[in-house]
Amino acid sequence: MGIKPDIITLSKSLSGFGLPFAIVVMRNELDQWEPGEHNGTFRGNNHAFVTAAAALEHFWADEEFAKSVQAKGKRIADGMQKIVRKHGPDSLYVKGRGMMLGINCPDGDTAGAICKEAFANGLVIETSGNHSQVVKCLCPLTITEEQIDKALTILDAAFAKVMAEQVANQAS
């Protein structure tokens, strides 16, 4: 993106094992901390440090994992675009980047109904957005192509059912 930040903060499950772990990445010349001087409440624990090191060594040893993540993001985006073209009024559209994608719905009630229907069929997915109007996909980086395809099939069926119900309700 052409951005060269001075400092980047990262958190959540960076440990590669679902454990809380956060890091601050900064240019070497900005690192003025002495050993033991930096403290925080979300630094992780020994187990998180060990699993984070293992995740770095296993997944990020070369460019293959990054390339697979990019391919998975494209697969999800393409699948969501198909859902939008198939079921959408003009107010449906895909938004996001990489593997953090969602389908913007007309309103939060529609998005909520789609998530509820998807959940009833085995897909855990949630809403986001300022009015909870986005059906949000936030997959683990290690998801398989088969899991993506299964999730998109369930999501497609959920959109089909909810959008058809909305059309039927508007007609009556």
At 158, phi and psi to the nearest 5?
-65, -45
- Provide the mean pLDDT of the chain: 88
Contact 92, 105 (CB under 8 A): yes
Q: Which of 149, 155, 59, 82 is nearest to 93 (CA)?
A: 82
Q: How far apart are CA 88 and CA 92, in angstroms?
A: 5
pLDDT digits (tens, 9 = 90+) for 15-51: 767 777 777 888 989 888 887 776 666 556 788 888 8
Residue ranges covered by each domain of the chain:
7-59, 64-171
From 42-46, 87-91, 101-105, 156-160, the region with the lowest mean pLDDT: 42-46
Q: Give residue 56's pLDDT band: very low, low, confident or very high (50, 70, 90).
A: confident
Structure tokens at 147: 């899991």
**How high is the pLDDT of residue 133?**
97
The class of domain 64-171 in CATH terms is alpha beta
Instruction: Please list the residues that pair with 102 across neighbouring strands.
Output: 95, 136
Q: Which of 137, 145, 67 is nearest to 99 (CA)?
A: 137
Q: Give residue 109's pLDDT band: very low, low, confident or very high (50, 70, 90).
A: very high
Structure tokens at 60: 């990020």
Dihedral sign for Cα 35, 39, 44, 45, please. positive
**How high is the pLDDT of residue 78?**
98
**How high is the pLDDT of residue 90?**
78
